Structure 1
Amino acid sequence: MGNSSGSTVDDLQAVEMHLWYKKFMTECPSGQLTLHEFKQFFGLRGLDPEANAYIEQMFRTFDMNKDGYIDFMEYVAALSLVMRGKMEHKLRWYFKLYDVDGNGCIDRHELLNIIKAIRAINGNEGQDTTAEDFTNRVFDRIDINGDGELSLEEFVAGARSDEDFMEVMMKSLDLSHIVAMIHNRRHPEQSEETSSSVITVYFMSVFM
């Protein structure tokens, strides 16, 4: 097996692959996970607009061949990145996640929307700047050529040199925290049938 999008699939042991495949096919017998199933997979229903947009973008980023599904190899690549990916690979994934229109650059609007989504999911407690101010500060620090867009090179170099920005990005890849936070932000009419313990068991069975 070759590497895919900077993931470390080659490093996985055969036993892990078998267990992951069994889990994936149990939850998704068709072998192709749709966006709707992706949300069900993690117990994500009744999302508010910010959380919904963020999860949809995350799905699209994991859907490497852009066919509208996450297949088993894409699933493995995603888990491998989360669990074992080198920082360089994670930064490239962050870039794809933030580059919503896929044009190879991140503009202020894209970064601002992601920052707002992350704050909406993780909560705004302890934030001493607005999302707008934080976005402007990031561009002031790492948009080296001042063209109003962040290239991959500027993004990677800037993330390594800006601790605050790196912290925000680390939160954006902390899937277990995101799932827990979104689960707690369900609309009032949402039933309590899908408990947080179910999500915890899922993550233990897949990520451990």
Structure 2
Amino acid sequence: MGNSSGASLEEITTCESHQWYRKFMTECPSGLLTFYEFKKFFGLKNLSEKSNAYVETMFATFDLNDDGFIDFMEYVAALSLVLKGEVQQKLRWYFKLYDVDGSGCIDREELLLIVKSIRAINGSKNEMSAEDFTNMMFDKIDINGDGELSYEEFVEGIRNDEMLLKMLTESLDLTHIIQRIQGELKENY
């Protein structure tokens, strides 16, 4: 996001930017979104411990300067990525999201934790269990068999497997959150 993802304010319309700014400043007049406000902002209540940990990780990926807050520019960069980001940009963000401990690699436990958390938040009922999905991803893209996915393995593996790309994209589809924001914006005009 921001400069690192290639998403920029120029990629969104002036009208969108104005609407997002009004929504952002209405929800957090200080101009800084805390983790608590982030959860409230997106209607995330009564989360399990695992789901809450996932939301914390998501918050951290949007908090580009690691100051514990999401400012308006970070917010716009995140929305721009979700709405208009290219596959490579989204894969970079997905990797950062899945790399919970920031080690530069994703291990099975991290992937399983995030998959379970995403499913809990989205309420998705998939045919494949979270464990089976995690094992399938590792079987397909852990090229060197070390039990960890490097950034390169992750990006190349997902890009070269249409089914994994589709499953990953659908599991992290945030359009319902974007639609909620846009719906609230329309109500206020």
Shorter-chain TM-score above 0.5: yes
8 Å contact from structure 1 (residues 7, 78) kept in 2: no
Q: Tell me the amino acid that sits aligned with residue 163 of structure 1.
A: E
Distance 1:51 1:171, change over 3 A: farther
Q: Return the TM-score normalized by structure 2.
A: 0.86
TM-score by length of 1: 0.79
Give the structure 2 partner of residue 169 of structure 1.
Answer: 168
Matches of 1:43 and 1:52, distance apart in 2:
13
Instruction: Please name the residue that 1:144 is paired with.
Output: 143
Residue 72 (1) aligns with residue 51 (2)? no
Check the 8 A contact 1:25/1:31 in 2, yes or no. Answer: yes
**In structure 2, how many angstroms separate the alpha carbons of the residues matched to 1:157 and 1:26?**
41
Counterpart residue number, 2:88: 88
Match for residue 130 of structure 1? 129
Alignment CA distance shift 1:200-1:8 (3 Å): closer
Corresponding residue number in structure 2 for 1:49:
49
- The aligned residue for residue 23 of structure 1 is 23
**How well do the aligned residues superpose, as a CA RMSD in angstroms?**
2.4
- Asked if structure 1 preserves the Cα contact closer than 8 Å seen for 2:47 and 2:121, the reply is no
Q: Deviations over 1:107-132 (max 9, x none)?
A: 111111112122323446341x3322
- Structure 2: which 5+ residue stretches go unaligned? none
What does the per-residue CA deviation read over 1:137-177, in whole Å, with 9 as the maximum and x for residues that have no partner? 21111111112111111111111223343233213432244
Q: Is the alpha carbon distance of 1:172 and 1:74 closer, same or farther for their aligned partners in structure 2, counting shifts above 3 Å?
A: farther
Paired with 1:111 and 1:70, the residues of 2 have a C-alpha distance of 25
For the pair 1:118 / 2:97, whether they are aligned, the reply is no
Number of residue pairs aligned between Structure 1 and Structure 2 = 185
In the TM superposition, 1:29-40 aligns within 5 A as 29-40=29-40
Q: Secondary structure at the match of 1:150?
A: strand
Taking the aligned partners of 1:113 and 1:204, their CA distance within structure 2 comes to 31
State the distance in 2 between where 1:70 and 1:124 align.
Answer: 27
On the 8 A contact 1:82/1:173 being kept in 2, the answer is: no
Q: Distance in 2 between matches of 1:139 and 1:94?
A: 15
Aligned partner of 1:23: which letter?
Answer: K
Q: Tell me, in whole angstroms, the C-alpha distance in 2 between the residues paired with 1:35 and 1:155.
A: 28
Report whether the alignment pairs 1:106 with 2:106.
yes
Does residue 203 (structure 1) correspond to residue 189 (structure 2)? The answer is: no
**Structure 2 residue matching 1:4: 3-state secondary structure:** helix
In structure 2, relative to structure 1, the CA distance for the partners of 1:22 and 1:130 (3 Å cut) is closer
Give the whole-Å Cα distance in 1 for the aligned partners of 2:140 and 2:19: 44
Report the Cα distance in structure 1 between the residues aligned to 2:135 and 2:185, rounded to whole angstroms: 38
User: What CA distance in whole angstroms lies between the structure 1 residues aligned with 2:135 and 2:126?
Assistant: 19
Rate the CA distance shift 1:74–1:206 in 2: closer, same or farther, 3 A. farther
Q: What amino acid does structure 1 have at the position aligned with 2:31?
A: G
Distance (Å, rounded) in 2 between the aligned partners of 1:126 and 1:47 = 19
